[in-house]
């Protein structure tokens, strides 16, 4: 019985479904289609869109913001190509601004110019978007989460980058890049800060904030300098941009600041040269190499305190080079100050510089002994020679060089003493 009753309702159900789709079915069978709102002539779209705009404005005047937003949405949903679609986006953004919902406001403003680049209020939209991004950048605009305040730098950076993409030739583009660089640097992301400043000085070199960008770029590299004992790549970059700033903007009111910071970086660079020179002087007794680095320190920053210290060391080296050693009747084998890889053979009545005897090939103690044996055999077999091999001292002592070690190489016991 139940099955029979159910079957009685089937015709009714079929009729109901048919009636719901009759209009569309009729259009299909007759070759006619329903005309959609977006397919209407533009004049009719504008007329109907204007009615929705007035309706939305009426809701807004009564502070019925949700109803107003919904009415504005109907404008660009039903008539996306009409003349009022961009205005609807703009008005929705304005309502969100009133309610301090800045994220939605920025998005609505953005649609008004991205989807409608010819929107007459284009510059006004940019101004409002820049204002919103500035609010996000300001720490005072931060939000609270479980009682802890956090900043909106990430959102602000995204907003500023959007502004740059929307209007790369506007006055807001270089300003946005400067703010992006400041936020990246505040967060410790120096490479991103450098990238933003580099774009600013390359694409907007005529901007009024270009001098600040050069100085900020130099300051960013300066903040990456770890000290004279570390790699000086960042130091050299900072010096380069400080110099560029001083050359390109001689009338800037920041010239004094730039000169002082340049001097500081040059002194750090000079210290890095000085540290190496001091190492060669004290630890390696390589005076030739030490001279090179001390002179580099003076060249990098001639008026710095580091340059004065470097000059003092150079005076010590000059004095050491003039020091004479009394050998009595002994032959001394020692290193030559300016040529640490060469050896010099001295005697009381004769000075034999083995470099003149092709000393370049005598680099080991065995080679020296062989040369000495040759001298003894060929020149003076009767004379018992005593030899001293001097290693250079670690540090000068007064006006003399104090040998660190002394090795006697008599002709009869060379092997034992060796």
**Per-residue pLDDT tens for 153-185?**
999 999 999 999 999 999 999 999 999 999 999
Domain 121-142+149-208: give its CATH architecture.
Alpha Horseshoe (1.25)
Residues 6 or more apart whose CB falls under 8 angstroms from that of 6 comprise none
Please tell me if the domain spanning 121-142+149-208 has the same topology as the one spanning 226-322: yes
* Cα–Cα distance for residue pair 374/377, rounded to 1 Å: 5
Per the CB < 8 A criterion, the answer to whether 75 and 85 are in contact is yes
Q: pLDDT above 90 covers what percent of the chain?
A: 56
* Cα–Cα distance for residue pair 211/207, rounded to 1 Å: 8
Domain boundaries, the chain: 121-142+149-208, 226-322, 326-417
**pTM > 0.85: yes or no:** no
Q: Left (φ > 0), alpha (ψ -120 to 50) or beta: where does 149 sit?
A: beta
H/E element, 271: helix 255-282
- pLDDT computed for residue 411 by the predictor: 37
**Per-residue pLDDT tens for 31-81?**
444 456 767 888 888 899 999 999 999 999 999 999 999 999 999 999 998
Which of 309-313's residues contact partners 24+ apart within 8 Å by CB, and which partners?
309/274, 310/270, 310/273, 310/274, 310/277, 313/277, 313/278, 313/281
Three-state secondary structure call for residue 345: strand
Provide CATH code, domain 226-322. 1.25.40.10
**Per-residue pLDDT tens for 269-286?**
999 999 999 999 888 888
pLDDT band at 225 (very low <50, low <70, confident <90, very high): very high
Q: Which range is most confident: 14-18, 174-178, 330-334?
A: 174-178
- pLDDT computed for residue 41 by the predictor: 83
- pLDDT computed for residue 371 by the predictor: 55
């Amino acid at each position: 019985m139940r099955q029979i009753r159910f079957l009685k309702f089937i015709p009714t159900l079929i009729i109901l479904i048919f009636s719901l789709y009759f209009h569309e079915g009729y259009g299909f069978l007759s070759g006619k289609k329903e005309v959609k709102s977006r397919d209407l002539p533009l004049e009719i779209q504008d007329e109907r869109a204007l009615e929705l705009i007035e309706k939305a404005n009426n809701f807004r005047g009564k502070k019925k913001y949700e109803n107003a937003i919904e009415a504005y949405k109907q404008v660009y949903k039903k008539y996306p190509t009409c003349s009022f679609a961009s205005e609807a986006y703009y008005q929705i953004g304005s309502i969100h601004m009133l309610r301090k919902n800045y994220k939605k406001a920025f998005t609505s403003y953005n649609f008004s110019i991205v989807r409608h680049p010819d929107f007459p209020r284009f510059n006004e939209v940019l101004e409002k978007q820049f204002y919103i991004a500035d609010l996000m950048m300001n720490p005072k605009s931060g939000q609270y989460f479980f009682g802890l305040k956090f900043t909106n730098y990430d959102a602000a950076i995204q907003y500023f980058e959007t502004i740059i993409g929307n209007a790369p030739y506007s006055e807001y583009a270089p300003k946005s890049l400067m703010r992006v660089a400041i936020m990246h640097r505040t967060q410790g992301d120096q490479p991103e800060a450098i990238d933003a400043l580099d774009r600013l000085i390359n694409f907007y070199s005529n901007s009024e904030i270009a001098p600040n960008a050069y100085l900020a770029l130099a300051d960013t590299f300066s903040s990456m300098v770890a000290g004279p004992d570390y790699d000086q790549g960042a130091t050299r970059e900072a010096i380069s941009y400080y110099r560029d700033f001083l050359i390109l903007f001689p009338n800037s009111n920041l010239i004094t600041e730039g000169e002082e910071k340049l001097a500081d970086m040059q002194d750090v660079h000079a210290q890095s040269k000085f540290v190496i020179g001091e190492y060669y002087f004290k630890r390696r007794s390589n005076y030739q190499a030490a001279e090179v680095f001390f002179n580099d320190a003076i060249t990098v920053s001639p008026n710095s305190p580091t340059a004065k210290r470097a000059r003092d060391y150079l005076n010590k080296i000059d004095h050491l080079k003039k020091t004479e050693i009394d050998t009595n009747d002994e032959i001394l084998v020692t290193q030559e100050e300016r040529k640490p890889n060469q050896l010099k053979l001295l005697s009381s009545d004769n000075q034999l510089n083995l470099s003149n005897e092709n000393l370049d090939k005598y680099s080991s103690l065995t080679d020296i002994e062989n040369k000495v044996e040759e001298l003894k055999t060929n020149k003076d077999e009767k004379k018992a020679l005593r030899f001293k091999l001097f290693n250079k001292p670690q540090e000068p002592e007064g006006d003399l060089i104090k040998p660190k070690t002394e090795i006697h190489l008599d002709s009869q016991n060379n092997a034992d003493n060796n």
